[in-house]
Amino acid sequence: MKQYPNVFIFDHPLIKHKISILRDRSTGMKQFRELIEEITTVMTYEAMKDVALVPVEVETPLEKTVGYRVPEESVAIVPILRAGLGMVNGIHRVLPTARVGHIGMYRDEETLEPHEYYCKLPDGIGEKKVFVVDPMLATGGSACDAIAALKKRGVKDITMMSIIAAPEGIEKLAAAHPDVRIFVSTLDRCLNEHGYILPGLGDAGDRLYGTK
């Protein structure tokens, strides 16, 4: 795959360890959900490296000093429903003040075309640093359309976080939105004829919510 300056693919033993359990077809719903959250938390440390801080005065038991805080209103998480919801707690664990917006996209199983069916965003979304989350970046159609929908509503600073991506998805997203930073925990081989990632983990939404 071509190299893109805005694409970051993790090479971390903890992620490799957790992804192997996540992929396993015998991993049950509870452990699957926990792993999605844990991998998201590990990714968040890197993806939030450039989050803006403001200095604040802190009084320790011994003296006053200067500390730094992420302003409460400055960050939003936007999960792409359904499967993106599984990543929200992974970020909230380390930044509980992040606001949450929701965007609903489903992929037509025949055409693989994404369709938006829901969008509710926090007030002032245009001024926030927005982290769009979806565990699977397959053809890239859902992420591209969700990001286009956010830009139409005034969002300027966007980071995409996905657990597993196909090269096809990264290429499509990087070409369509070169201003968006893309963090992917694991790059897989390719898509199959049904648009599923290989080796992948199957259908993330079904495995998170037990719908099949």
Tell me which of ligand PRP, ligand URA, none is bound by residue 112, counting a contact when its beta carbon lies within the kind-specific cut-off of 5 to 8 angstroms.
Answer: ligand PRP
Residue 89: count of CB within 10 angstroms of its CB:
17
Side-chain half-sphere exposure of 202, counting CA atoms within 13 A: 18
Closer CB to ligand PRP, 155 or 163, in the complex: 163
- Judged by CB under 6 A, does residue 138 bind ligand URA? yes
Query: Which of residues 106, 171, 181, 202 is near ligand PRP by CB under 6 A?
Result: 106
Q: Rounded CA gap, 181 and 40, in Å?
A: 16
- Judged by CB under 6 A, does residue 141 bind ligand PRP? yes
DSSP H stretches of helix in the chain? 13-23, 29-47, 85-92, 141-152, 167-176, 204-209
For this structure, is 111 an active site residue? yes
Tell me the CA distances in angstroms from 142 to 9, 29, 116, 159, 172, one per residue in order.
20, 24, 9, 15, 11
Catalytic residue among 24, 111, 123, 189: 111
For this structure, is 107 an active site residue? yes
Closer CB to ligand URA, 78 or 136, in the complex: 136
Q: Rounded CA gap, 123 and 178, in Å?
A: 26
Closer CB to ligand URA, 47 or 138, in the complex: 138
Residue 113: count of CB within 10 angstroms of its CB:
12
Tokens of 177: 């939105």
Q: Rounded CA gap, 133 and 130, in Å?
A: 10
Query: Which of residues 22, 98, 137, 187 is near ligand PRP by CB under 6 A?
Result: 137
Tell me which of ligand URA, ligand PRP, none is bound by residue 90, counting a contact when its beta carbon lies within the kind-specific cut-off of 5 to 8 angstroms.
Answer: none
CB neighbour list of residue 82: distance below 8 Å, 6 or more residues apart: 104, 205, 208, 209
- Judged by CB under 6 A, does residue 143 bind ligand URA? no
Tell me which of ligand PRP, ligand URA, none is bound by residue 114, counting a contact when its beta carbon lies within the kind-specific cut-off of 5 to 8 angstroms.
Answer: ligand PRP
Q: Rounded CA gap, 146 and 150, in Å?
A: 6
Tell me which of ligand PRP, ligand URA, none is bound by residue 106, counting a contact when its beta carbon lies within the kind-specific cut-off of 5 to 8 angstroms.
Answer: ligand PRP
Tell me which of ligand PRP, ligand URA, none is bound by residue 197, counting a contact when its beta carbon lies within the kind-specific cut-off of 5 to 8 angstroms.
Answer: ligand URA
Binding site for ligand PRP (CB under 6 A): 80, 82-83, 105-107, 112, 114, 134, 136-143, 169, 195, 204-205
Active-site annotation, residues: 107, 111, 203, 206
